[in-house]
Structure 1
Amino acid sequence: MSFITLTTDFGTKDHFVGAVKGAIYTELAEARIVDITHEISPFNITETAYILKNSYKSFPEGTIHIVGVDSELSADNKHIAIELDNHYFVCPDNGIISMIASEIQPTKIVEINIHDRIESSFPVLDVFVKVACFIARGGNLTVIGREIKEYKKLIEIQPKVNQAQTQIIGGVLYIDNYGNVITNISKKMFNDVGKGRAFKINASRYSFDKIYSRYNEITGNNSNNSSQFDGNKLTIFNSAGFLEIAIYKSNLNTVGGACTLLGLAYRDPIIIEFFTESKPEFTPLT
C-alpha cells in the first residue's frame, strides 16, 4: 500500500489535519499517512515548493503527496494531479510543483474534474483525499482528470545571471526553524557561473567571501572551545544544495538567527559577484 503524505499550512490547533486523516482512513483503512509539515507560512507557495523538493525523494516510489496550501478552487487556481519521478502529487496549480518539475519532467499531468460531483469549501478534505485514495488503489490519472501539458511556473524561484556572467541575482527563498536564511542559489549554479573565480556574496549590508563545507568548520582548530564562535555569521551550501546564510549555533530564542540578526526576510535580494582574478587555492565545491 502506498504512503500518503500531507503538506499544509493548516497548523495543528484546528480540526483540519485530523479531519483530513480521518477521511483518508474512511476511504482507505490500510493507508499509511505521514505528515511532512503543517506549519507552512499561510499561503506561502515558494516555502511549500522548497520543503516538497527536499522531502519527497526520501519516500518510496509510488508515494502520493497531498499538498494543501492556497488550495481554494478558482478559474486561476485549478486542481491537478501529477505523476513525476515515480511519485504522485495532488495539489493546486499555483506553482507549488515548479521547483521539482524544473529539473524532472512530469510523466503525466491532469486537471482534476470531479468537482462537478463534489461541492466543497474544503477541497483538500473533499477532493484531494478522494483523488489520492483512488491513485493508491491503482487508479489511472486520466479517469479523474483531463490530461494537460502545462503547469504554472514560479519565476521568482529561479535566480538570474547577468549577461556578462559576473553576477548571480537571487533571493531569500525560505527561513528555517533556526532562523537560517536559505536562498534560491544552488551549488551547481554557483560552480557553473563562478568557474573558480573570487567572489563576494552580498546580503543586505553584509558580505561574505568564503563558503564553508559544514557549520562547525568556522571554529577551525578550536573545536574544544567552540562556544566563542556562537553567534558568528557564515555561509554554507546546505544538505539540499542551496546557498544558506547562517549563524553558528543559532537559536531564535537566545542568540537569534540569521534572519533577525542580519535583517533578512523572504524575497530579499542576495547577489553574488564574481571577479576576474581567481583564487589559486579555490576548487569548485562538491
Structure 2
Amino acid sequence: MAIITLTTDFGQKDPSTGAVKGAILSELESATIVDISHQISPFHITEAAYIIKNAYNSFPKGTIHIIGVDSEITPENKHIALELDGHYFICANNGIMSLIASEIKPEKVVEINIHDAVETNFPVLDIFVKVACHIARGGTLEVIGKTIPQIKQLKEFEPFVNQEQNQLVGHVMYIDNYGNVVTNISRKLFEAIGKGRKFNISARSVNFSKIFESYSDAINFSIPKEKREEEGKKLAIFNASDYIELAIYKSNPRTVGSAATLFGLKLMDSVTIKFT
C-alpha cells in the first residue's frame, strides 16, 4: 500500500488540498495520504525544506513525498522527481531539494516531461499526482522524465563563516507553533567553527552566551517555584533537529508573546555568532 505525503503552502481554507487528495484517490484508491503541513508560508522554500527534512525519515522507505511550494512551471522552474535516501520526492527544481539533500546525494533525478500530454494550470494536482501514482504502482522515474545530472543549488542560504573563523552568520529559517525561532546554524557547524571557545549569539537586540540541550535545562528546579525564573525566560537551545533555536520558556504567541514577537525576529533575519 503506497504512502503519499503532502507538503504545501495551500493553507486550509481553499479547495486545493482537498482536490489534490481526491485526485490521488481517484487514480489510486488504496493510497494512504498523510499531510505533513499545509501551513508553509507562501513560496517559502527554506521553511518547507526544514519541515520536510525533519519529517520524511520517520516514514517507511518507499514513501512518496509531494511538495507543492513554488511549484508553477517556468523556464527557470522545471519539475523534477528524484529518489533520495530510499524515498521519492516530486517538486519544482527551485533549490528546495538542495536544502533537504544537503548531506545526502540523490540516487536518481529526472526532469518531468509529461506536461505536453497533460493540460494544466495546477501542476500539483495534474502533474505531481500522476507522477506520484505512477511511482506508487511500481513505475520507474525514467518513464516520466529525462535523467539530469544535478539539482538546483541554493548556496546563498548556507551560513557564512568569515575568513578569520571567529564569526558565523546564519538566518532564521523557521518559526514554530510556539513562536520559537529556528536558525540554519547546526550543532555540527557551530562545534566545528567554535572549537570550544566562548561565544555570543546576537539577533537584533537579544544576546546569548550559553546554549542549553533542552528548554527545561534552562530552569533551576532546585530552588522554590516562586523564586525561579521561568515565564518569559530567554534561552538558546540545540533543538530536536540539532539546530540552534532561540526561544522563550513556555511561550504562548496568543497570550504572553513568543521569541519571534518579543525578539522582533522574522524569517530570513540574520543571527550572528562571534567566538572569542
Bucket of the pairwise TM-score, normalised by the shorter protein? over 0.9
Q: Which residue in 2 is equivalent to 1:86?
A: 86
For 1:97, what is the secondary structure of its paired residue?
helix
List per-residue Cα deviations over 1:216-269 (Å, max 9, x = no partner).
112113576277411111000100110000011110011111110011111111
Normalised by the size of structure 1, how large is the TM-score?
Answer: 0.94
Q: Which residue in 2 is equivalent to 1:187?
A: 187
CA deviation after TM superposition for structure 1 residue 213, in Å: 1.1
CA deviation after TM superposition for structure 1 residue 40, in Å: 0.5
Asked whether 1:239 is paired with 2:240, we answer yes
Q: Which residue in 2 is equivalent to 1:67?
A: 67
Work out the CA distance in 1 between the residues paired with 2:101 and 2:269.
24
Work out the CA distance in 2 between the residues paired with 1:177 and 1:115.
37
State whether residues 5 and 35 of structure 2, in contact with CA within 8 Å, keep that contact through their aligned partners in structure 1: yes
Which runs of no fewer than 5 residues in structure 1 stay unpaired? 276-286
Work out the CA distance in 2 between the residues paired with 1:53 and 1:152.
17
Q: Which residue in 2 is equivalent to 1:280?
A: none
Deviates more, 1:243-252 or 1:228-237: 228-237
Aligned counterparts, 1:4-153, within 5 A: 4-153=4-153
CA deviation after TM superposition for structure 1 residue 107, in Å: 0.3
Aligned AA (1:123) = P
For 1:168, what is the secondary structure of its paired residue?
strand
CA deviation after TM superposition for structure 1 residue 96, in Å: 1.2
Work out the CA distance in 1 between the residues paired with 2:270 and 2:98.
20
State whether residues 4 and 33 of structure 2, in contact with CA within 8 Å, keep that contact through their aligned partners in structure 1: yes
Aligned AA (1:234) = L
CA deviation after TM superposition for structure 1 residue 145, in Å: 0.1
Work out the CA distance in 1 between the residues paired with 2:108 and 2:224.
54
Change (3 A) 1:223 1:79: farther
Aligned AA (1:168) = L
State whether residues 78 and 111 of structure 1, in contact with CA within 8 Å, keep that contact through their aligned partners in structure 2: yes
For 2:96, what is the secondary structure of its paired residue?
coil
Which runs of no fewer than 5 residues in structure 2 stay unpaired? none
List per-residue Cα deviations over 1:4-57 (Å, max 9, x = no partner).
000001111111111111110111110010000101111111111111101000
Q: Which residue in 1 is equivalent to 2:199?
A: 199
Change (3 A) 1:223 1:135: farther
State the identity as a percent. 60
CA deviation after TM superposition for structure 1 residue 156, in Å: 3.4
Work out the CA distance in 2 between the residues paired with 1:248 and 1:98.
33
Q: Which residue in 1 is equivalent to 2:169?
A: 169
Change (3 A) 1:262 1:88: same
For 2:24, what is the secondary structure of its paired residue?
helix
Change (3 A) 1:223 1:96: farther
Work out the CA distance in 1 between the residues paired with 2:185 and 2:93.
24
Q: Which residue in 2 is equivalent to 1:281?
A: none
Q: Which residue in 1 is equivalent to 2:212?
A: 212
Work out the CA distance in 1 between the residues paired with 2:258 and 2:217.
18
List per-residue Cα deviations over 1:48-76 (Å, max 9, x = no partner).
11111010000000000000011111101
For 1:197, what is the secondary structure of its paired residue?
coil
Work out the CA distance in 2 between the residues paired with 1:224 and 1:111.
61
Deviates more, 1:234-243 or 1:214-223: 214-223
State whether residues 233 and 248 of structure 1, in contact with CA within 8 Å, keep that contact through their aligned partners in structure 2: yes
Deviates more, 1:237-246 or 1:222-231: 222-231
Aligned AA (1:144) = I
For 1:129, what is the secondary structure of its paired residue?
helix
RMSD, aligned α-carbons: 1.2
